[in-house]
């Protein structure tokens, strides 16, 4: 469908504002749901928050600030053609749009640090690899910070960005004019994609932490095989991984859900020192000490002896043949 001619009533009625608000607040609400679920999992199964959780929370706060300022920008005319706005609306539009970009930029930068925190804690990389990851994250943050500084400080005084009555000195005399034209046509898409990018990174950085919550809601791991689902379901109830043990092992169940420091998974062994394979029928063939009892065996020659049940007993039968001499 072709655009209506400029200056017509249909052209003046064009407004992307409602769509901007719907998309921005929908993605912000969706990312909030993931962050709240993330915090719940941390407190429920770990009992504390890690640094990556704080980075994600800060990113969500920046997202809310950006979306709120974008709402004020839409109320001032963002989404409509610049020519149909009054001078006051144009100035407010420039003010709130510029203000919304600053926290919006940080909203998709801070969650990247959360991803680095999570990876370095779970994968336990080498020193060089760890420093390289942090260098990438810090460099990204510095780049975004410079972008914010250039966005606000490209004109002196900064008020000249949105107050057309103030004469300011900018990096280039045409920047303010070009930005005004750009703001009238492309700013709605820029505002939307800034919020979408920040919300998407927040959601992506929270998905790995929500694994225990998915197991509880679905009563299984949807991405695991049947055997893995059975084992995880048993452990999620606080049971011991080995059916041969009659007592639960809360520490093992806790480590199943905890995304903390990388720790070696405990290897279960029987009383002979052999590794116990989970969910195998052979596990209960020889029960450990809990199921051992003693039985008295009486022999006509040697009397009685104590025999411990539940153990492998070797019996040697010796036959002695002899001739009696006269």
Residues 6+ apart with CB under 8 A from 201: 59, 108, 111, 112
pTM: 0.61
Residues 6+ apart with CB under 8 A from 195: 23, 24, 27, 28, 63, 66, 67, 70, 104, 107
CA distance linking residue 176 with residue 166, whole number of Å: 12
Enter the DSSP assignment of 44: I
Q: What is the pLDDT of residues 236-246, one digit of tens each?
A: 344 444 444 44
Residue 95 token pair:
């003010």
Q: What is the pLDDT of residues 306-316, one digit of tens each?
A: 555 556 777 77
Question: 223: number of CA atoms within 13 Å, CB side?
Answer: 4
pLDDT of residue 129: 92
Q: Residues 271, 290: contact at Cβ < 8 Å? A: no
**Residue spans of the chain under pLDDT 50:** 173, 176-177, 179-186, 230-261, 279-293
Would you tell me how many other CB atoms lie within 10 Å of the CB of residue 245? Answer: 16
Residue 157: asked if its preceding bond is cis (omega within 30°), the reply is yes
pLDDT of residue 26: 95
Q: Strand ranges (DSSP E) for the chain? A: 155-156, 169-170, 294-299, 303-308
């Amino acid at each position: 469908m072709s655009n209506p001619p400029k200056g017509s009533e249909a052209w003046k009625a064009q407004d992307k504002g409602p769509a901007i608000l719907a998309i921005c607040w929908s993605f912000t609400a969706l990312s909030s749901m993931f962050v709240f679920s993330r915090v719940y999992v941390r407190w429920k199964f770990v009992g504390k928050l890690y640094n990556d959780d704080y980075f994600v929370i800060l990113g969500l706060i920046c997202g809310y600030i950006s979306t709120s300022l974008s709402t004020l920008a839409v109320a001032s005319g963002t989404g409509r053609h610049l020519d149909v706005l009054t001078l006051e609306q144009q100035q407010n539009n420039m003010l709130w749009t510029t203000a919304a970009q600053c926290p919006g930029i940080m909203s998709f930068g801070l969650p990247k640090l959360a991803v680095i925190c999570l990876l370095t804690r779970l994968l336990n990389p080498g020193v060089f690899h760890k420093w390289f990851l942090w260098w990438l994250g810090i460099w990204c943050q510095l780049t975004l910070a410079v972008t914010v500084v250039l966005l606000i400080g490209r004109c002196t005084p900064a008020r000249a960005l949105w107050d057309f009555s103030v004469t300011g000195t900018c990096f280039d005399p045409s920047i303010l004019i070009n930005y005004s034209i750009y703001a009238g046509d492309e700013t709605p898409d820029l505002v939307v994609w800034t919020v979408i990018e920040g919300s998407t990174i927040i959601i992506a950085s929270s998905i790995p932490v929500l694994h225990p919550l998915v197991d509880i809601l679905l009563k299984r791991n949807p991405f695991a095989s049947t055997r893995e689902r059975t084992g995880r379901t048993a452990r999620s109830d606080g049971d011991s991984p080995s059916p041969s043990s009659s007592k639960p092992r809360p520490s093992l169940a806790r480590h199943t859900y905890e995304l903390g420091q990388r720790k070696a998974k405990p290897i279960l062994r029987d009383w002979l020192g052999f590794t116990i394979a989970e969910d195998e029928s052979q596990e209960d063939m020889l029960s450990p000490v809990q199921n051992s009892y003693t039985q008295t065996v009486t022999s006509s020659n040697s009397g009685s002896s104590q025999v411990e049940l539940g153990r492998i007993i070797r019996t040697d039968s010796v036959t002695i043949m002899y001739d009696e001499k006269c």
